[in-house]
Structures are given as C-alpha cells and as structure tokens.
Amino acid sequence: MRERSLPADEVIASLARTKEHDYSYDRFFSTMCSRPHPIAVRAHDMFLETNLGDPGLFPGTAGLEEETVRMLGELLGCPQAQGYISTGGTESNIQAVRAAKNRSGKREGNIIVPASAHFSFDKIGDLLSLEVRKAELDSHLRVDISSVEALIDEQTAALVGIAGTTEFGQVDPIEELADIASEWGIHLHVDAAFGGFVLPFLDNGLKWDFSLPAVSSITIDPHKMGLATIPAGGLLFRNQDCMNALETETHYLTRAKQTSLTGTRSGASAAAAYAVMMHLGREGFREMVGYCMELTRHLVRGAREIGVEPLIEPVMNVVALQVPQPPKVRERLMDRDWHVSMTREPKRALRLILMTHMSHENIDLFLADLKEILADIN
Ligand SMILES: Cc1ncc(COP(=O)(O)O)c(C=O)c1O
C-alpha cells in the first residue's frame, strides 16, 4: 500500500481507466449474468452498508429479505418456502446439499446429479465428502431416468435435477425424478439458478418447481435472469426443517443462530432482487423473457440460414450451435471480439446465451462473422 494519501478524484480516475480494459456486455454471448436493471443499482446503493450476517442490527433489511424469499417462493409454487439470498448458484447448491446430507445422517454418502450439472456440484462433493455420481443424458440432453435409477442406493443423500442446464438450457424430467425421490424418501434439489426466472414466464407446461410435493429445495439466482446486481443468489426450502439442518450457533451476534454459509453478507443483494421484482412484476418479467426468447429464435433462424443447426431445439434462451472444430471457431470469434463459450465433451458445440444486453443487430453482425469464419476453415 502507498505511504501517502492519493486524492479521491485521482483514485476514481485510475479506476475508470482500469475499467476500460473490461469488455462490453454488448458482445457477450457467454455469460448468464447481464447489466443489472437500473432500479437494482439504485436499491443496491441504498443498502450497501447493511449486513444480514447480523440481522438484529438491520431489522428493516432483514424484513426485506424475508419478503424477497416469500415472493420467490410464490413464483415457485410455495409462498411459505424458507430460505435466504445467497451469493449465487454455487452457494445455494452447496447449502441445499448440505441440508440434505445433515438431515439424512449419512456421513459419507453420495448424490446423483445429471452429467450436465454445473461444476458447483464437483466442489460440493469435495467440500462435503460426498461421492458425486453423474447420471447419463438422453438424446434430448435431459437426465436419463434409468441411469439415475441404476446409480441410486441406500447411501444416496440427494437427487439433483436441473431446470435450465448451463450448457443447453434444457430441463430435466423433474416429475420423474420426484417420483424416484418420494419412493426412496430422498431430498430432491432442483437447480434453477438460470431457469428460475425464465420458466415461470414461458407457457411450456413443464412441471419442475414446488408444485411437485417431492421437490425439497430450489436454487434460483436473481443475479442471472432476475436482473439484480451481483452477488444475488436465492436458496429456497419447502420447509423449515431443511433450514434448521443448516443452523450454527453464533455466540456474539444479535441472533443466536445462523443458517447462511457466509457470515457477513450484504443486504444490498436482497434489496436489489426485491426492487426488480416489485418494479417489473410478472408482466415485466414476461416481457423481458419474451424479448430474450425472440433473440433466441432470431439467432437460430439466422444460424440455419448459414447451415448451422442447434444441438437441440432451444427450450429457453440458451443455444448450443453445432459447428466443425468448435475450439477453432470460438478462437476466431474471440479474435473478432465475440465472447462465446463451448459446451463440454462429448457434445462440443458453441454455447450462446441470449441475455437482455444482446440485440438483433449484434446477432446479425455475429452471424455474418460466423459465416465468414466457417467458410474460411472449411
Ligand atoms: C445451472 C447453474 N447452477 C449453478 C450455477 C452457479 O452459479 P454462480 O456462478 O452464481 O455461483 C450456474 C452458473 O452459471 C448455473 O448455470
């Protein structure tokens, strides 16, 4: 650290110069986050100093978090759901599995996740000393139920289904997973980190939330399609027992027990999530999701015109495009300042997320570049 003070203006000017090195969201196809809604930024700013790690000092903010959880629960078919605003999908997944493990009493059990699960589940296996068994996918890239059945045993502490997979935007057959979970009396966790703010606003008839009695917990991230500021994740449990399974005594804080993973945690995230949900309402979210789906259809239409097919017909605003030599194509796109990512083996494809920051014009520019690159490498 410097010895002498630097005037605030100079510090801020240096920060602004540094930020110029970052890339622009306008050309991001690879991220599941977006520019936050302006009201989220204002709310975040208002609650910057709050600490929900010690909620007795900030009862107003704590009440706001409770109300945010209630609204999320209502959206997911269970207004009385319990939970909290976490730092994101990873923390919510960790905590859901931790609760399931604690309740099951299995010290060294296993969990069954689809092969398409987010890598947070690998961290969970390591952190919680659980074997992570990966079930195969079917031809639609949903988890194969017979593979789940073959992996399950007396030591299984939780089943996981994904509602909006990171790479394909696919939804697992959660109803069938729910049947298995009730038959075995096992915790079923649904990772809807991305899909949680998409699926309720699509009329596709899929059942995947708390309306299925066997679903015990859900991850839903306001900092993805909820347009909140980072970090804002959501963890919801159907009942209080799961929350109780996460309790730690706190000794010196205003509340005797804590259920979050982190200690000190900002109330700004909860305020931002709350503000967006109140401001947009269901109609605003329907419109926003509708726009992202329109972008998705525009991309797929244009891709087909240049001879590129998606791996599956998109279920939500995630597209996996089948191109020859995906790593090379991606590298060439990155050279042209398009930020795309790839799905993993054995289904290597270009992975594109159509978030609110994307535009029809930029999709057209992207497709023109993709066409040139493909012509060049063929
Ligand atoms: C389905 C799913 N679960 C969990 C996560 C992890 O979320 P985070 O990066 O907020 O920890 C992601 C991230 O993209 C995801 O797509």
Checking if the pLDDT of 106 tops 90, the result is: no
The ligand 1 atom nearest the CA atom of 93: 4
Is the C-beta atom of 120 inside 6 A of ligand 1? yes
**Mean pLDDT throughout 179-198?**
98
Query: Residue 91 Cα, ligand 1 centroid: separation in angstroms?
Result: 9
Checking if the pLDDT of 108 tops 90, the result is: no
In the chain, % of residues over pLDDT 90: 97
Q: State how far the Cα of 68 lies from the Cα of 47, in Å rounded to an integer.
A: 14
Instruction: Look at the alpha carbons of 187, 191, 193, 197 in this order and tell me if their dihedral is positive or negative.
Output: negative
Q: State how far the Cα of 111 lies from the Cα of 118, in Å rounded to an integer.
A: 14
Checking if the pLDDT of 107 tops 90, the result is: no
Question: 8-35+282-377: what CATH class?
Answer: alpha beta
**334, 340, 345, 347: CA torsion to nearest 10:** -120
Q: What is the pLDDT of residue 176?
A: 98
Query: Residue 246 Cα, ligand 1 centroid: separation in angstroms?
Result: 21
Residue type, 128: L
Is the C-beta atom of 373 inside 6 A of ligand 1? no
Give, for ligand 1, the residue of 34, 118, 315 to mutate: max count of ligand atoms closer than 8 Å to Cβ: 118
| Burial of 41: CB neighbours in 10 Å, binned 0-12, 13-18, 19+ | middle
Q: What is the pLDDT of residue 155?
A: 97
CA distances from 220 to 106, 111, 112, 147, 257 (A): 26, 20, 20, 26, 24
Query: Residue 166 Cα, ligand 1 centroid: separation in angstroms?
Result: 7
Q: What is the pLDDT of residue 50?
A: 98
Buried b / exposed e over 179-212, threshold 16 CB at 10 Å, is: ebbeebebbbbbbbbbbbbbbbbbeeebebbbeb
Q: State how far the Cα of 147 lies from the Cα of 211, in Å rounded to an integer.
A: 25
Q: State how far the Cα of 201 lies from the Cα of 176, in Å rounded to an integer.
A: 22
Sketch the domain layout of the chain as residue ranges.
8-35+282-377, 38-278
Per DSSP, the three-state class of 370 is: helix
Query: Residue 183 Cα, ligand 1 centroid: separation in angstroms?
Result: 29
Query: Residue 120 Cα, ligand 1 centroid: separation in angstroms?
Result: 7
Give, for ligand 1, the residue of 31, 194, 230 to mutate: max count of ligand atoms closer than 8 Å to Cβ: 194
Query: Residue 7 Cα, ligand 1 centroid: separation in angstroms?
Result: 39
Residue-wise pLDDT tens digits, 17-50? 999 999 999 999 999 999 999 999 999 999 999 9
Query: Mind giving me the DSSP string for 314-328?
Result: -SSSEEEEE-SSHHH
Task: Give the pLDDT band (50/70/90) at residue 161.
Answer: very high
Give, for ligand 1, the residue of 90, 190, 223 to mutate: max count of ligand atoms closer than 8 Å to Cβ: 90
Q: State how far the Cα of 70 lies from the Cα of 80, in Å rounded to an integer.
A: 6
Is the C-beta atom of 166 inside 6 A of ligand 1? yes
* Mean pLDDT, the chain, whole residue set: 97
CA distances from 213 to 82, 182, 187, 239, 355 (A): 15, 9, 11, 11, 31
Is the C-beta atom of 193 inside 6 A of ligand 1? yes
Closest CA to 222 of 83, 60, 57: 83
Buried b / exposed e over 216-250, threshold 16 CB at 10 Å, is: bbbbbbbbbbbbbbbbbbbbbbbeeebbebbeeee
Q: 3-state SS of 12-34?
A: HHHHHHHHCCCCCHHHECCCCCC
Closest CA to 242 of 138, 358, 158, 344: 158
Q: What is the pLDDT of residue 160?
A: 98
Q: What is the pLDDT of residue 303?
A: 98
**Mean pLDDT throughout 362-369?**
98
Is the C-beta atom of 167 inside 6 A of ligand 1? no
CATH topology of domain 38-278: Aspartate Aminotransferase; domain 2 (3.40.640)
The ligand 1 atom nearest the CA atom of 89: 7
